[in-house]
Chain A
Amino acid sequence: MRVTGKGLINRDKQISFSFDGKSYNGFEGDTIASALLANDVRLMARSFKYHRPRGPLTAGSEEPNALMTLHSGARQTPNVRATAQEIFSGLEVRSQNNWPNLERDVMSVNDMFSNFLSAGFYYKTFMWPRAFWEKLYEPIIRRAAGLGALSGLHDEDMNEKAYAFCDVLVIGSGPAGLMAALTAARSGADVILAEDDSRFGGRLLSEVEDVDGKPGHLWVDDVIAELSAMDNVRLMKRTSIVGAYDQGTYGAVERVSGHLRGAHADAPLEVFWRISAKQSVLAAGALERPVAFPMNDRPGIMTASAVRSYLNRWGVAPGKRVAVFGNNDDAHRTARDLAAAGVEVAALIDSRPDSGPSGDFPILTGAEVIDTKGRLGLKQITVRTNAGMQTISADCLAMSGGWNPSVHLTCHMNGRPVWDDKLLSFVPKDGAIPGMTVAGAAQGVMSTAGALQSGLEAAKTALAAVDAKVADVTAPQAEDAAYNIAPLWQVSGKGRAWLDFQNDVTTKDVKQAAAENYQSVEHMKRYTTQGMATDQGKNSNVGALAVLADATGRGIPETGTTTFRPPFTPVAMATLGAGARGAGFAPQRFITSHDMTVKAGAPMIEAGLWYRPSYYPEKGELTWRESTDREVNMVRNHVGITDVSTLGKIDVQGPDAGAFLDFVYTNMFSTLKVGRVRYGLMLREDGFVMDDGTTARLGENHYVMTTTTAGAGEVMKHLEFVHQCLVPDMDVQFISVTEQWAQFAVAGPKSRVLLNRILDSEIDNDSWPFMACGDVSMGGVQGRLFRISFSGEHAYEVAIPSRYGEALYAALLEEAKALDGGSYGMEALNVLRIEKGFITHSEIHGRINAFDIGMERMISAKKDCIGKTSAARPGQVAQDRDRLVGLKPVTPSQKLMAGAHFYNVGAEATRENDQGYITSVCYSPTMKSYLALGFVKNGPNRMGEKIRMVDALRGVETLCEICHPVFMDQEGEKTRG
């Protein structure tokens, strides 16, 4: 019901929205909760476990009850707090966790069996038989309990990530936050003021009180107007600071457009901010706690501060006849506000015996609410007074159990809040977050005047820490009443008294946990699930602790508290992962021949972030094998080209370049002649192989190193480490030039013929023998030519600046085709290298040393190098290590499987009998057989031996012969030819 003349809503702008298919009107400035209450809708949700009817408990982002689903279809968003979501025209809202509807929810049968469903029920009941848990119990429980559901469709909303920096981050814009922001801003500091709500002002929007001689919200307007005119201030409303991290880093979620629209728009839905602040002021205020009296969860029962918010900020009376129950002076304030607004106050029930009358309404002192009635909404309360029982009809009950300072962010770096006996609450520990000063109610300063002054002081502390001069600012006049409170943790009586409304945890559950010896607060929390819902115990933690303390005969400080962890409010995964969806998940690196390759129909495979062609299908080819076999034959008999630009290229220069390479490679590079290429093996310091590749010496002090595609980043980092951390005196510089050069392999008997049609000056075997390198010119463009081979054929790699890559590829392809050649992909490249016994990272997989691949003689005796000492350890050169061999099936058509293991003939295929494994497999059209590279115990000394390959996973068994890993042209005649 709207109250005339109250509220900060814009009554000139009516907004229509729907709830469970029914249309309602509200005003600009309304939340779903305030608009529904204005329409006398109190029932908004069903509880998690017992499916109890529920209405809003609060008027803010801490809401545990009124969770709803927005929109339908792909944009369906579950578990939105109706107390924080602003309405907009056309907004579609639905209740959740009920069937068939909110009023008649079949699952509320759970409530009738609540005696059996108390804490520990699942642990005790669904123990046996074990197999039933996953198949039967869990699905049923999951369906019965739970909140809203996702649509299962692809999310259409867009989110963003952003970064911000400031001198002072002010968290919260109540009196303390505004005063802190104003002081810091006037002093010239860079200020960010973040406010969780849609409007700045905090409690000043919800209370009837003056600041600086004017209504509080008008003072807020003045301050915000001043701040928004300043260049050094960034005002961020609808922004929750969700986490505090090391070195002044804060995580924040800004709700950008969720309050504006139902349809697509350009704006992101939310932005995840990382704010780096030199100092921060936490002015997050306090949250009022409910009172645990029997049957305290009916729609219409809410915190007193929520009642005042609905009344004063939104102009809504949450009931026609409102009762107020509390243990502190705020209860009186609530009754006074209601009476002044013309709302009937049924009774003010004050648990304190010494409380006096404070307005024109009935007051019951030393009294407690012990029962309530009303199935779908409050109708009546029962009050126990000194004079006896009394029933009072009321459709709304405002309850106040005192205030909990919002200490949450101060706990994010392991700070434990401390108990304050006067406030009956936890307050932040000093210095819990380095660089953070806590002010106002968050620090336990409960009066408005106190909060203003505390905000000012906090700003001064922050300014001093950033060496800023403090402007002359004084706090305005404001309310300065004392905060009087007496303990009231639970009210005895028949019926359940809820502590955690969201997870349906009652005082009985906490007592039961204590009785079953779950007496530590952390155990109680897990046993009862108290505080484990999306509100993270904001409403229930202190109350539950008090009940636990009572049940275990300890004080609250001794009982301790659980730790609040990030995020302060729930954060959507889509927001955290903003930008990382679909193609945004990982960057893509494209070779210069990418477009032509894709156009040729080649399926692309991922190699790290790169995309490389798998094979080039031709007309009539039905399988990848047909294409691959053709490409292999093409290279062996004619000529093939393939893009090898993805290999890492590192340019190494300087007087010590040779010495440096000698140190990082096992073999010598300082002795390499200019114009020559050498294969190099690189070890990790623990002696295992890190990477391999060729390095060319282009000049006296100039080398170009090639790494594997997969190892490029790791090798670059390794070189930087070795240079800077181990040999900083070496005069050498290096830089990755992978992106700068496009490089193509030209392989096959006709490779030189092809190249001579491209190169500006012809080459021959004398000018470019095997392992020669140097500058060449192609169409007037300076490039590089390396005579190296990864196929065993007479082959080259030709490099050109990337901007000419596509043109060179096109020219090479055209000439190749004229010579019965063409492009070949990764599959063919793999076959060619296995036939020749060349290794890749399939073989050098991190547990393999130089000895294992038969390259121990490549570790030069003339010098030290990374990994040399470790490689010589006794266990590293044992004959029975798994060592590289070739393997072929005794029957050539029989399949070999990568990953399969070897066992001796006649031995059982068990782990104890393992003789090794396969790392690479191909079908060789050259040898007309499957071939494999693998590791076999003492392999090089077992040539010709038969061995069983067993692939237990895929059920394949093949008898193999151990052979030399180089299957063809062991003398390298083709390569040198």
Chain B
Amino acid sequence: MRLTCPLCGERDRREFYYKGDAIALNRPAPDAGTDAWDDYLYLRDNPAGVTKDLWQHELGCSAWIVVERNTVTHEVLSTALASDVKKATK
């Protein structure tokens, strides 16, 4: 598997650390309530199809990356810097 780091270019999967669903970007407010926090911390979809996860270019530039990929075809559809994605949602 190969991923394109927005800063370093296309690299082997072994350079990256996998965290999980990109929902991790959407940290609820402290007072958002138990359900929102439960969703954020524990509940995950397991889609057969397009999904977004967070990877870190651990053996490269340390950038956290949002990877959009298809769990069925293994196609990588896009990658973006997590910091850009986060800033854009504000």
A residues bordering B, Cβ < 8 Å?
163, 245-249, 274, 276, 413, 434, 685-686, 717, 720-721, 723-726, 728-729, 864, 868-870, 873
Contacts and interface: CB of A to CB of B under 8 A. Distances in A.
30 contacts: A246-B1, A247-B1, A247-B2, A249-B1, A249-B2, A249-B12, A274-B12, A413-B74, A434-B73, A685-B40, A686-B41, A717-B56, A720-B62, A721-B24, A721-B54, A724-B82, A724-B86, A725-B24, A725-B54, A725-B82, A726-B25, A726-B86, A728-B82, A728-B83, A728-B84, A728-B87, A729-B87, A868-B30, A870-B37, A870-B41
B83 A721 contact: no
B25 A248 contact: no
A938 B87 CA distance: 45
Contacts of B25: 725-726
Nearest to A274: B12
A726 B2 CA distance: 26
B41 A725 contact: no
Contacts of B13: 246
Given A726-B25, A729-B87, A869-B30, A720 B64 contact: yes
A715 to B, nearest CB: 13
Contacts of B39: none
Interface string B44-70: 000000000010101000111000000
Given A413-B74, A726-B25, A726-B27, A717 B2 contact: no
A729 B30 CA distance: 19
A163 B19 CA distance: 26
Interface residues of B, number: 32
Interface centre among A163, A276, A869 (most CB of B within 10 A): A869
Given A249-B1, A249-B2, A873 B34 contact: yes
Contacts of A726: 25, 27, 86
Contact of A864 (B2, B12, B30): B30
Interface of B: 1-2, 12-13, 17, 19, 24-25, 27-28, 30, 34, 37, 40-41, 54, 56, 58, 62-64, 73-76, 81-84, 86-87, 90
Given A720-B56, A724-B83, A728-B87, A276 B64 contact: no
A728 B88 CA distance: 11
B64 A721 contact: yes
Contact of A725 (B62, B74, B86): B86
Nearest to B74: A246
Contacts of B64: 720-721, 724-725
A499 B34 CA distance: 62
Judged by DSSP, the binding face of B is mixed
Nearest to B41: A686
A685 B25 CA distance: 12
Contacts of A274: 12
A717 B75 contact: no
A304 to B, nearest CB: 40
Contacts of B56: 717, 720-721
Contacts of B54: 721, 725
B2 to A, nearest CB: 4
Given A247-B2, A724-B82, A726-B25, 13 more contacts: A249-B2, A249-B12, A434-B73, A685-B41, A720-B62, A721-B24, A723-B83, A724-B64, A724-B83, A725-B54, A725-B83, A729-B87, A868-B30
Nearest to A874: B34
Nearest to A869: B30
A276 B41 contact: no
Contact of B75 (A434, A685, A728, A868): A434
Nearest to B90: A729
Nearest to A863: B30
A245 B62 CA distance: 25
B5 to A, nearest CB: 13
Contacts of A728: 82-84, 86-87
Nearest to A713: B58
Most buried by B among A247, A249, A276, A434: A247
B30 to A, nearest CB: 5
Contacts of B2: 246-249, 276
